Chains A and B, each alone.
Chain A
Amino acid sequence: MTGAALDPTFTALPHRSLGDAALERARALGVSHADFRFERVRYQHLGVRDGVLQGAADSEDVGFAVRVIHRGAWGFASGVVLTPDEAAAVAERAVEVALVAAEMTTSPVEIADEPTYDDVTWVSAYEVDPFSVPTSDKAALLIDWSERLRRHPAVQHATASLQQVHENKYYADLSGTRTTQQRVRLQPHFEAMGTDEESGVFDSMSSIAPPVGRGWEYLTDGGHDWDAELAEAPELLAEKLRAPGVEAGSYDLVIHPSNLWLTIHESIGHATELDRALGYEANYAGTSFATYDKLGTLQYGSPVMNVTGDRTVEHGLATVGYDDEGVATREWDIVRDGVLVGYQLDRSMGRMKPELHDGRSNGCAYADSPGHIPIQRMANVSLQPSPDDVSTEDLIGRVERGLYVVGDKSWSIDMQRFNFQFTGQRFFRIEDGQLAGQVRDVAYQATTTDFWGSMEAVGGRDTWVLGGAFNCGKAQPGQVAAVSHGCPTSLFRGVRILNTTDEAGTR
């Protein structure tokens, strides 16, 4: 799967001795379940503005956590002092929290069974650890990007940035599972900004390159054509600044994967998280219209809609070998032929709904740091392409009056995942099956099932792109997760388009 090996500076850390101390202390206190996570997560952010390195920051989060089930309640505690005595003390604090919670827990906690994995390792697919590349080289690349963008007269300011993460986790529990894992992810980005001298209108044009679960080779091996995108962006910005405002109304949309991934994330990914459907996110992130009673009957979208959950796809941001409850990951169906057939869940929900996925978790527990408790987080949720060889040009050719949408920008959806509004980087008019220049100030607004029900066709495998995000927020206390979404270019009929200038009341 990968040319990378476990980082020896992680394996040299005292994760095993701390885990043993914590689990033994929890066992002695009589818990029914205990698990231990030791994590080291390294981050580096570089930001360039107008050819100058504006900020560079390295950070590293090292610590451990103990989670227990005791007297039917969860208890959780975390610490950063890396001694066996402190690990045992943190286990005691977790039990203390469980005792407080037990007084108010009316539904005893149980978790689904999972086979034991005895000291297994997993490393994600990458070639070059970005942290092994000199920071000066990375800064030079970003500076070059911003300077190339600024050579065009339409570009007054340009930014470029690079987020990098290197994540190691060790998991152990009282049943005997021990997993050690490592993965890397990258998010390069650039943006060109300009103002039209005549109208005074300001706008920007960003990269549509997706973040990836890959190494530094993403910037160098041709997996994304950075040169072409850097050359194209300024002229696209210039055209956008001169473009007319869209006329609000109903349009057919051909949506590129660089925009559609985010609509999938918000209206399918979050809506099919079982913790939301069961009410466990009601106070914060919200619930879901896709309630459990609708499993197997909800017409989520048109018959060409097939969606999978997958924590195994190569280079996926949510891809991992074992989740944060020691569950081996897999792929499964969420929507088949337009009908809701599956959910994303963890071990406690697997126990609550034993009829789902053979009573097992499908590996969707994740904590973003050693200081946070694992919760149900999103798998890589992806829309499957057509088995036929359908190109983006084929889809555009089927539209008489519509818009071709490329790149993501603004996004918002309600707390049950019905009503959403998205904008994009660029919107091209489609007239009689041909692209006819950009329009601006566009947002599309719909209800989830109406929108997916209006999907007439999906593109073939050649149009499929694995997009995604670094920054999906959920839970209390808040946690951030990275997740990928693959999709083909797709055709939707009769979607409501707003003019955002009209919405602002400034025209």
Chain B
Amino acid sequence: MTSTHGVPAATPQSLVEHALATSVADDCIALVRDRTQANLRWANNTLTTNGVMHGVDVTVISFVHQAGGTSSGSVSGSATTQAQVSALVHAADAAARAGSPAEDAADLVTGDATADWDDAPEPTDIHVFDTFAPALGEAFGRAGAAGRVLYGFVSHEHVTTYLGSTTGLRLRHVQPTGHYGCTGKNAALTDSAWVGGATRDFTDVDALAMDATLAQRLAWSARQVDLPAGRYDTILPPSAVADLMIDAYWYAGARTAHEGQSVYSRRGGGTRIGEQVARPGVHLFSDPAHPGLEATPFVTASTSDNEQSVFDNGLELRRHDWIADGTLTSLLQTRHSAGLTDQPVTPYVDNLVLEVDGGTGSVEDLVAGTERGLLLTCLWYIREVDPQSLLLTGLTRDGVYLVEDGEITGSVNNFRWNESPVDLLNRFTHAGRSVPSFSREWGDDYFSRTATPALRVPDFNMSSVSQAR
């Protein structure tokens, strides 16, 4: 597939058309992703590793009708020339011919070209930080002068996706993804604070404001309080709620639930769809058109597994309610799993929103209404402990604050916690207004498009103390 290097790069559309024309399989889907990224990273008040990247990934999925069904073959690779794409097509065709009938086989999605099909990829580059970078340099100076140390990372990526099929589809989508995060420490490195968020274009990210917030949070640590493990009245800010809800979403595969392997399984068989799994008034949903969280509006799947199917490529995505008014209404479905579970087709969408009826106000408002409790900043190293309860473990990080009589009065040691996000949706007592949020654990690399409220949980299980600061 790499025998003709030296040929100038082709357009993504021409690579798609070349793949579809070259394939000798019964059907073929080609996915081309043009990916550009720019990032800055810093530590100890100085830039460290920074870069710009450009990649073009091509996935060819071939389908062959044979006795007993349809088989598929999927091959991906970096490719910028027709010769490279030809090699991918030959490999995908061969894989499909050698394969056995696929259990998820279905008619391929049909359609036409969208109006923007002929448009070029939309790249990003280092200049997306033209305003942010000088301000960051100034923030380093301010922080250093005040005895603060800054560590952080900003990233901006554009992925322009082109999906074409022998059944006529020609779909294009431009996905900007940006995020920022900065950790501040005092000079002795004994206190730590964090601020972070998602952005689509960096016009709304202010390095000096970021530093000012860190300075305020570090000031909250003037009084330090040691508390033991136990169950605490705890305020989870939107970033921490996003951490937990992403896990609740990722483990919501319909097939595994149907087979008895998840928190969404009904004991005795089947799924819990239709059951009350959260408090009334709780709504968890995904919507590719959600304002500010716009995500790819069609299925793109390079391989088949429990939660995606190559046969579903191009399927239109709409709003899916996972939990509506506290009732589990949908799970992650391919057309194949929807047939197994006798449920509607509700594929994975790359954003997530949690809303609570009557939820108003901010983290600060929840603090003001708390007599004595803890305010977290974010969560870290979250892993599943038990699938049947969706028990998760993890740590608090970069700021646990003591709330007394509605005010923050000091900082507290970190904790390891053991909790189930589904259980929390039954136990919280207060919810704020849903706002754009950013998961500290998953936002950087996997899932940055979330909107969540702050939640107050009266008995959050802090299993042991962590000495980390």
Is A104 touching B140 in the complex (CB atoms < 8 A)?
yes
B305 pairs with A103, CB closer than 8 A: no
Count of A-B residue pairs with CB < 8 Å: 284
Contact A410 B383 (CB under 8 A): yes
Whole-angstrom distance between the alpha carbons of A82 and B5 in the complex? 6
Given contacts A63-B78, A503-B385, contact A56 B303 (CB under 8 A): yes
Roughly how many angstroms separate A453 CA and B325 CA in the complex, as a whole number? Answer: 51
Cα(A136)–Cα(B136), bound, Å: 54
Given the complex of chains A and B, what is the CA–CA distance between A412 and B303 in angstroms? 29
Could you say which of A55, A77, A415, A501 contacts B52, with CB atoms under 8 Å apart? A77
Note all chain B residues with C-beta closer than 8 A to A412.
Answer: 381-383, 393-395, 416
Please choose the segment from A193-201, A219-227, A328-336 that sits at the chain B interface, where 4 or more of its residues have CB less than 8 A away. A193-201
Minimal Cβ-Cβ distance residue in B for A266: B381
Binary contact track B1-38/A, C-beta < 8 Å → 1, others 0 = 11101101100000000000000000000000000010
Query: CB < 8 Å: which of B49, B129, B310, B383 contacts A411?
Result: B383
Given A55-B305, A476-B153, verify A96-B126 contact (CB < 8 Å).
yes
Q: What 1/0 flags go to A52-88 for Cβ under 8 Å of B?
A: 1111111111110000000001111111111100000
- A313 in the interface (beta carbon within 8 A): no
Closest CB in chain B relative to A325 CB, distance in Å: 13
Tell which of B126, B387, B444, B467 touches A478, judged by Cβ atoms closer than 8 Å. B444
Which of B49, B80, B100 lies at the interface centre, i.e. has the most chain A CB atoms within 10 A of its CB? B49
Which residue in chain A gives the minimum CB-CB distance to B153? A476
| CA distance in complex: A14, B54 (Å) | 19
Cβ of A45: which chain B residues have Cβ within 8 Å of it?
A: 303
State in angstroms the CA–CA spacing of A375 and B194 once bound together.
23
Query: With A56-B73, A61-B77 given, is the CB distance from A279 to B39 under 8 Å?
Result: no
Cα distance A448–B344 when bound, in Å?
48
Q: Is B42 an interface residue (CB 8 A)?
A: yes
Interface string of B47-64 (1 = CB under 8 A from A): 111111111100100000
- Which one, B43, B99, B383, B395, contacts A419 given CB within 8 A? B395
Say whether A28 faces chain B, with CB atoms less than 8 Å apart.
no
Q: Is the CB of B95 within 8 A of A56?
A: yes
Q: Mark B66-100, 1 if CB is under 8 A from A, else 0.
A: 00000001111110100000000001000100111
How far apart sit A76 and B305, CA to CA, in the bound complex (Å)?
36
Do B182 and A283 touch across chains, with their CB atoms under 8 A apart? yes
A252-291 residues with Cβ-Cβ distance < 8 A to B are 278-284, 286-287, 289
Q: Is the CB of B467 within 8 A of A500?
A: no
- Is there a chain B Cβ closer than 8 Å to A505's Cβ? yes
B463 at the interface (CB under 8 A from A): yes
Chain A CB within 8 A of B302 CB: yes
Q: Check A156 against B260 for contact (C-beta < 8 Å).
A: yes
Fill in one digit per residue for B256-281: 1 if any A CB lies within 8 Å of its CB, else 0: 00011100010110000000000000
In the complex the two chains form, is B385's CB within 8 Å of A500's CB? yes
Q: A117 an interface residue at 8 Å Cβ cutoff?
A: no
| B44 contacts A443, C-beta separation under 8 Å | no
Interface size class of chain A, counting residues whose CB lies under 8 Å from the partner chain: 35 or more
By a CB distance below 8 angstroms, the chain B residues around A416 are 467-469
* A202-B49 CB under 8 A given contacts A419-B395, A419-B464, A476-B153: no
Asked whether, in the complex, the Cβ of B52 is within 8 Å of the Cβ of A93, the reply is: yes
Q: A47 interface residue, CB < 8 Å from B? A: yes
Neighbouring A residues of B166 by C-beta, 8 Å? none
**A56-B73, A63-B55, A106-B46 given as contacts; is B467 within 8 A of A447 (CB)?**
yes
The reply on B380 being an interface residue by CB < 8 A is yes
Q: In the assembled complex, how far is the CB of residue B378 from the closest CB belonging to chain A, in whole angstroms?
A: 11
Q: How far is the CA of A375 from the CA of B414 in the complex (A)?
A: 28
- Say yes or no for B358: interface residue by CB 8 A criterion: no
Give the residues in chain A near B45, CB-CB below 8 Å. Answer: 106
Interface on chain A toward B: helix, strand, loop, or mixed SS? mixed
B6 lies within 8 A of A14 (CB): yes
Interface of chain B residues 394 through 424 with chain A (CB within 8 A): 394-395, 397, 414, 416, 418-420, 423
Q: Please, which residues of chain B bring their CB within 8 A of the CB of A281?
A: 43
Contacts of B43 in A (CB 8 A): 279-283
Question: Once the chains bind, are B39 and A200 in contact (CB under 8 Å)?
Answer: no
Task: Verify if A495 is at the interface (C-beta below 8 Å from B).
Answer: no
Tell me, yes or no, whether B329 is within 8 Å of chain A by CB: no
Known A419-B466, A445-B463: A371·B303 in contact at CB below 8 Å: no
Pick the most buried of B129, B133, B259, B423: most chain A CB atoms within 10 A of its CB: B259
Q: How far is the CA of A414 from the CA of B380 in the complex (A)?
A: 7
When the two chains form their complex, are residues B126 and A100 in contact, meaning their CB atoms are under 8 A apart?
A: yes
B467 touches A418 (CB 8 A): yes
Measured in the bound complex, the distance between the Cα atoms of B181 and A416 in whole Å is 18
Chain B residues near A410: list those with CB within 8 A. 383-385, 393
| Interface contact A83-B8, CB-CB below 8 Å | yes
Nearest to B155 among chain A residues (CB) is: A477
In the complex where A279-B44, A419-B465 touch, is A78 in contact with B53 (Cβ < 8 A)?
Answer: yes
**Which residues from A are CB-within-8-Å of B126?**
93, 96-97, 100
B304 at interface, CB cutoff 8 A: yes
Nearest CB on B from A376, distance (A): 11
- B397 to chain A: closest CB distance in Å? 6
Known: A55-B303, A57-B74. A101 touches B50 (CB 8 A): yes
Q: A279-B149, A415-B468 are in contact. Are A97 and B52 (CB under 8 A)?
A: yes
Would you call B435 an interface residue if the criterion is a C-beta within 8 Å of the partner chain's C-beta atoms? Answer: no
The interface bits of chain B over 188-201 (1 if a CB of A lies within 8 angstroms of the residue's CB, else 0) are: 01000010000000
Cα distance A319–B310 in the bound complex, in angstroms: 35
Q: List 23 A-B contacts (CB under 8 A).
A: A49-B306, A55-B74, A58-B75, A62-B78, A79-B54, A81-B9, A97-B50, A97-B126, A104-B40, A104-B137, A107-B44, A193-B259, A200-B267, A202-B260, A202-B388, A283-B182, A289-B467, A371-B53, A410-B384, A419-B395, A498-B463, A503-B418, A504-B389
Known: A14-B5, A55-B310, A410-B383. 15 other contacts (CB 8 A): A14-B6, A52-B103, A59-B75, A63-B78, A75-B51, A78-B54, A100-B50, A104-B133, A200-B268, A202-B261, A281-B43, A283-B194, A410-B384, A419-B468, A505-B423
The 6 closest A-B pairs by CB, nearest first: A76-B51, A416-B468, A59-B76, A57-B303, A476-B153, A82-B5
Q: Which residues of B contact A (CB under 8 A)?
A: 1-3, 5-6, 8-9, 37, 39-56, 59, 73-78, 80, 91, 95, 98-100, 102-104, 126, 129, 133-134, 136-137, 140, 144, 149, 151-153, 155, 181-183, 185, 189, 194, 259-261, 265, 267-268, 302-306, 310, 380-389, 391, 393-395, 397, 414, 416, 418-420, 423, 444-445, 461, 463-469
